[in-house]
Amino acid sequence: KIGKCFKIVFSSSACVYGASEIMPVSEQNAVGPINPYGTTKLVVEHLLTDMCACSNAEEKWGAMMLRYFNPIGCHDSGILGEDPQGVPNNLMPYIQRVAMGEIDKLSIFGDNYNTPDGTGIRDYVHVMDLAQGHVLALGKLLHSPLTDKATIINLGTGKGTSVMELLKTFEHEGDLKIPYQICGRRQGDCAELYCNASRAASELQWTATRTIKDMCRDQINRIRYLNKHSADI
């Protein structure tokens, strides 16, 4: 019935952690977003947590707050996915636009981080894995007794990949070259951010199954689809 929805799956984000010192990041790590986007995610997490705490017999609130790490990739058909416009902020949409010949080259924001190849490390997770995480979260909210009525869960692979590793895998999967230049660090970027995904495994029986190679291959399929259908879109 309208107005009787008390179970919510919320798309939160790893950016609530800000520049966390402790890796991998688990849900108990301190939060401290460094931009307004991260703050909005945290505010909604607090609201939902309060709503659940104030539940009563008629209004039994339940919330799963899923902290996404770095979602990339698309449906493997290439039909469902991003079509970034303008100058993207995030890495994969930027690579996509360069691969499509719409931007000349990628700017890599820093190669002097304390990481094996000097470029930033993130926990990239395939959007189809994320989608499955949502289905499991909703199923759990609707059908199982919850350990907590408001639950925060990291959705990531638990593995870090550098900008350079992602770029090389993309080039390999697409059999193409992405021109790039090394630039200064982007303000607010941390060297590395990857998660401890054990709560997702224990609460949702969810583990990301798709690799960086899968993510790049599907993104290439997306580009091929967009190139083929550009006149119809």
Active site residue ranges: 37
Helix (H, G, I), strand (E, B) or coil at 162: strand
Helix, strand, coil percentages in the chain from 3-state DSSP, rounded to 5: 35, 20, 45
Q: Are 77 and 84 in contact (CB under 8 A)?
A: no
Contact 94, 147 (CB under 8 A): no
- The DSSP bridge partners found for residue 67 are 12, 154
Using the contact rule CB under 6 A, the part of the chain among 3-11, 39-47, 87-95, 218-226 near ligand UDP is 87-95
Minimum CB separation from ligand UDP for residue 192, in Å?
8
Residue 105 in contact with ligand UDP, rule: CB under 6 A:
no
| Chain residue whose CB lies nearest ligand UDP | 120
State the binding string over 176-215 for ligand UDP (x if CB under 6 A, else -): ----------x--x--------------------------
- Binding ligand UDP (rule: CB under 6 A), the pick from 32, 59, 77, 89 is 89
Amino acid 126 reads H
Opening angle at CA 204, ends 201 and 216, nearest 5: 65
Which residues in this chain contact ligand UDP in the complex, by CB under 6 A? 70, 89-91, 94, 107-109, 120, 122, 163, 186, 189
